[in-house]
Amino acid sequence: TVESLIDRLHREADADADPETTPDVGVIMGSDSDLDVMRGAHEALDELGFAEQTDFFDAPEARFTYETYVVSAHRTPDLMYAYGKTAAARGLDVILAGAGGKSADLPNMTASIAYPLPVVGIPVQEKSVDSVIGMPTGAPIVAVDAGKSFNAALSAVQMLAREHDVLEERLLEYHDSLTGGVARDSRDLHD
Ligand code: RP5
């Protein structure tokens, strides 16, 4: 039930767990129908060596991990509030939040609730863009264009990389792999 999920989040926040073992990135979305778009965030995180952590108290081998939750601003507002409020105490460093529809309120509400933890918002559809990015002055959100969850995850890793040199190296390697691809495409055009 939603109540038991909320209780669990609070227990995890109160556990004072070793930050090395807690998820670093929280991936949340308004509905499981957003998963197709949000999978891009998983792909980027996987690409950069993150592992999915399904049990808060049982970290996988990988040093950097992410967790995934479906949290609806409108169907489960109490869960959204609990997730945002406990995020920092649960050891998260950044949240990726995606939602669709014209009332895509999960990213912007979570950004306000979790402040000052950074939230990167992903409009799942074109019509969700205004809802995600339209924040009042003083209530910030970082946001990407519709559907760009892969880039949202890269932005999140850029934030973490200020603290972790190894992530900076992985981001540079990833960038090199792209430039290599462009160079190859260009060469192929001229062959
Ligand atoms: C939003 O409403 C969700 O983020 C989703 O994109 C959209 C539709 O949700 P479902 O009706 O498919 O569950 O809150």
Residue 180 confidence (pLDDT): 77
* Amino acid letter, 121: G
Residue 2: C-alpha distances to residues 5, 83, 124, 191 (Å): 5, 11, 23, 59
Q: How remote is the CA of residue 125 from the centroid of ligand 1, in Å?
A: 10
Give 70's strand partners.
29
**Can you give the residue ranges of every domain in the chain?**
2-164
Q: How remote is the CA of residue 128 from the centroid of ligand 1, in Å?
A: 11
pLDDT digits (tens, 9 = 90+) for 92-114: 999 999 999 999 999 999 999 99
Is 187 among the annotated ligand-binding positions?
no
Is 34 among the annotated ligand-binding positions?
yes
Q: How remote is the CA of residue 8 from the centroid of ligand 1, in Å?
A: 24
28 and 95 Cβ atoms separated by less than 8 Å: yes
pTM score of the predicted model = 0.94
Residue 190 confidence (pLDDT): 81
Mean pLDDT over residues 168-179, rounded? 94
pLDDT digits (tens, 9 = 90+) for 65-87: 999 999 999 999 999 999 999 99
State whether CATH 3.30.390.10 applies to domain 2-164.
no
Residue 8: C-alpha distances to residues 11, 13, 23, 71 (Å): 5, 9, 15, 14
Residue 64 confidence (pLDDT): 98
Percent of the chain with pLDDT over 70: 100
Is 31 among the annotated ligand-binding positions?
yes
